[in-house]
Amino acid sequence: MSETYNGHDHPHEETRTGAESALYASRIRAIEALLVERGILTKEEVRRQIEYMEARSPANGAKLVARAWTDPEFKARLLSDTKAAARELGIDASGPVEFLTVENTPEVHNLIVCTLCSCYPRAILGRPPDWYKSFAYRSRAVSEPRAVMREFGLELPMDVTVAVHDSSADVRYMVLPMRPPGAEGMDEEELARLVTRNSLIGVSVPLEPGLAG
């Protein structure tokens, strides 16, 4: 049994309290109104950008995983160039931030964290869950990853290596989990329903067939 840690020294986004978030939201609305008033942006452009961000959700990651489970060539592209693979399915992950997909195997289980803040593949998966941004998760995912996963209901065999990946301002990670037993013969839509947000982060594994809602 072993654990590995892929750490980085990098600038990060800050984690904010609820009061701070409300303050920033108020400022953003004021700036938005000023930009519209001065003709720099239109309300329609603002609306389209909001809709674009709201379209980012774990469902995108589930689509990528389901296709990778059924198409070995797509899986290879996803692992080698996540942005290009996402584009094939109509998911826009363009921008300066690099995205890497790491594959779970019977020998290695991957866990994603951002040790200093909340860097996360937002362009693909949307907003991170609150617990991902918490100090407890950010510190314990590195020091005791098995204990953290156990609290999410995942107990890994001791001969499985846990690889912890630290997301940064430049690189974001997503997990390609293993296809669960009993999922043979399921189509992509059915398979996508087995993929949870937590399995894309690595604190859990996909649902078993018959348990997906």
Catalytic residue, chosen from 26, 57, 80, 119, is 119
Q: Is 119 a catalytic residue?
A: yes
| DSSP designation for 134 | S
Q: Is 143 a catalytic residue?
A: no
Catalytic residue, chosen from 21, 114, 167, 168, is 114
Residue type for 193, please?
R
Which pair of tokens denotes residue 59?
């469902």
Q: Is 167 a catalytic residue?
A: no
Catalytic residue, chosen from 117, 167, 168, 199, is 117
Return d(Cα 170, Cα 56) in angstroms, integer.
Answer: 19
Return d(Cα 203, Cα 205) in angstroms, integer.
Answer: 7
Q: What is each CA distance from 33 to 41, 54, 86, in whole angstroms?
A: 9, 20, 33
Question: Which residue has tokens 């594959």?
Answer: 103
The secondary structure of 91-115 as a DSSP string is: ----SSSEEEEEE--SSEEEEEE-S
Which pair of tokens denotes residue 82?
């996540």
Catalytic residue, chosen from 2, 80, 118, 167, is 118
Q: Phi/psi at 106 (nearest 5 deg)?
A: -60, -20
Give SS3 for 142: helix
Which pair of tokens denotes residue 89?
């399915």
Pairing of strands 161-166, 108-113: parallel
Residues belonging to the active site: 114, 117-119
